[in-house]
Amino acid sequence: MGEYGYAGKILRADLSARRASTVSTAEYSGRFLGGRGIAAKIYWDEVPPGAGCFDPENRLIFITGPLCGVPAVSGSRWEVCGKGPHSPARFSYGNLGGRWGAALKFAGYDGIVVQGHSETPVSLFVHDGTAEFRDASALWGLGAIEVREALKSELGSSARVVAIGPAAENRAVMATLLADNNASGSGGMGAVMGSKKLKAVVVMEGREPVRIARPDDLREVTAHYRGLKRSFPTDGWEYLSRWSRDPTLEPRLMPGPEMKKEPCYGCLGRCARKVYVAGDGRRGKFLCHSAFFYQPWVDKHHGDWNDAAFEATWLCDNYGLDAVAIDLMISWLHLCHQAGILTDEGTGIPLSKLGSAEFIQTLTRKIALREGFGELLARGLHQAAEDLGPAAREQAGLAGHLAEPGYHPYGPRLYNTNALLYAMEPRMPIQQVHEIGLVMAKFSAGTRGLTLINADVIRTVARKFWGGEVAGDFSTWEGKALAASMIQDREFVEASLILCNFLWPITDCDPSPDKVGDPGLESRILAAVLGNGDSEQDLYRTGERIFNLQRAILAREGHRGRRFDALPDHFFNLPVQYDQANADCVVPGHDGQVVSRRGAVVDRDGFEKTKDEYYALRGWDVTTGLQTSESLEKAGLPEVAQDLAGRGLLA
């Protein structure tokens, strides 16, 4: 029986030696909580800075948090972490939902750490307290969905599967892994799994419940959480999508009975996570960016909804490709085709038929198999553009998501606080930028009388969550350094618990008198589960520790402070025209006045001055942006301070 909130063990699987062992979760959980925190600590301790992402020394870390498997708190997400294949290769992570994480917890493990390399395809089968290495040669070459169905057919429906497709086998940099409920993990972790010849990890769902220290307190706080009824307008992302710009219209993306809700384990189902059934009977997830990315091109090609949009999502899942990366790749290919840089004949891809099923079938196959022109694309957009020359590089700077030139979800041209968040992460920090972006999407709808979120609510959110009311004025840089640091600390806690980012933190809340949520609710839930007395501020200090640890990892891998805390040039040069969840680009300005950011760019001087303020708040060196011994020791990381000092990586 595990500790309160934890299964109590982490499974270690050495593929080179075909040996499994366990360690106690308690070695890590006291200081690093779970999820990203524990993964970062294991990575810091075990992955040499000079190791390549495809080297046996790299770790592939599947990890849950202390709230995983606890009903009704939306805390059963899980992460996969390791050194990713993007250039430069460095620590990265993917965040997944569904049921696989809870199944791992119920099987008696808080995580799995995979090391080494198998010479032949292998799967890891976790059941009845044991870990078994199985030959997976017959599965090699199959799609991730096909592998999952094959293993479930063999082992039964209670088998929970995370698998890779051909893109990961061939080490495409945007390769993902796919789990039950079509939960996908990005950050290049699929390519790492493929490099280890690990085709799948199967967990037989056990019967070990999560131990709760204070059951009565948990029932009370979860009843309160249920009563908040926080969700998106019209209880779904359809409302916020670019294809419902007229708010008086019913969403037309997901008509009829072919859509069915499919919440993650232990969730209230208040997001748009659904299953779509195509005309040919295939089923698959239809959620967020991965569902919508091909739709605007389908609209242009077909004039209305067509199953080609679902086909794109299904193909990305089965081949194991990051739909967000493919979205940006498509935009770049389109721009290059328009500019005469690329042709149908030269690429072997029907660029002139963008929006058709034929186009997306050809593109995904070529990238996943590294076939023909797909060999170039499998290296990633920026490397492909670099290899093709100056004209292609220029178009890469203009590419955007969802068929909108230059559009970047929740980008800093719209919400300037997010500039710091983008600049300091090894990948798109979607969980962090959601904190502002999701409530501001409701503010945008509120300006049209469709929600109760107005400028007064945003000011109160800013005061409670972002350090002061001025953080809710997006016409100034004032208060943004403090807001960014608070968001980072809180979101690193969320990524370690691991709570669903669609629903947590509860910044806005219609039932409350001021329409604003409670930033202390996470600490109350955790205290009920673990039985400790950690306060809201205690949790933020833990988040600060984990954030500083990740920063130190990146420093060992080449990140050098201020000059690396940078944004792509297009944020400074290409004006924003559109945001998916805020089509009018409206934000609260001075004294709550509604202003539009359409046509705005990031002010370079304002950004650099805000970095000065941010570094000072963190206790880092303002000139270089490097951590200091004092700041790391204050964060509870004396061993990290000693290591970085010995490498000359502190100010």
What are the pLDDT digits (tens) for 121-132? 999 999 988 999
Mean pLDDT of 387-392: 96
Residue 527 has pLDDT above 90, yes or no: yes
pLDDT tens-digit map of 488-520: 999 999 999 999 988 899 999 888 889 999 999
Asked if the model's pLDDT at residue 281 lies above 80, the reply is yes
Report yes or no: 489 and 57 within 8 Å, Cβ to Cβ.
Answer: no
- pLDDT above 60: residue 243: no
What's at 448, amino acid-wise? Answer: R
**Mean predicted confidence (pLDDT) in 159-187:** 96
Confidence at residue 52, expressed as pLDDT on a 0 to 100 scale? 96
pLDDT at 287: 75
> What is the Cα 160 distance to its own chain's centre?
21
Instruction: Say yes or no to pLDDT of 244 above 80.
Output: no
Residue 275 CB partners (closer than 8 Å, separation 6+) = 259, 260, 261, 262, 283, 284, 285, 286
Output Rg (C-alpha) for the chain, integer angstroms: 23
What's the confidence (pLDDT) of residue 230? Answer: 64
Angle at which helices 390-398 and 381-388 pack, to 10 degrees? 150
Per-residue pLDDT averaged across 42-54, rounded? 97
Question: What domains does the chain contain, in order, with CATH numbers?
Answer: 9-204 (3.60.9.10), 233-398 (1.10.569.10), 418-646 (1.10.599.10)
Written as six digits, the tokens of 178 are 């796919």
By the 8 A CB rule, do 217 and 527 touch? yes
Arithmetic mean of pLDDT, 99-106: 96
pLDDT band at 232 (very low <50, low <70, confident <90, very high): low
The pLDDT tens digits for 461-473 are 999 999 999 999 9
CB atoms within 10 A of CB 257: 6
Within its chain, how far is the Cα of 281 from the centroid?
29
Q: SS3 helix, strand, coil % of the chain, rounded to 5? A: 45, 15, 45
Q: What span, in angstroms and rounded, lies between the C-alpha atoms of 494 and 501?
A: 8
Residue 561 has pLDDT above 60, yes or no: yes
Three-state DSSP class for 538? helix
Check if the beta carbon of residue 522 is closer than 8 Å to that of residue 496.
Answer: no
What is the residue type of 314? W
Confidence (pLDDT) at 238: 45
Confidence of residue 249 (pLDDT cuts 50, 70, 90): very low
pLDDT for the residue 255:
43
> Any bridge partners for residue 31, and if so which?
none
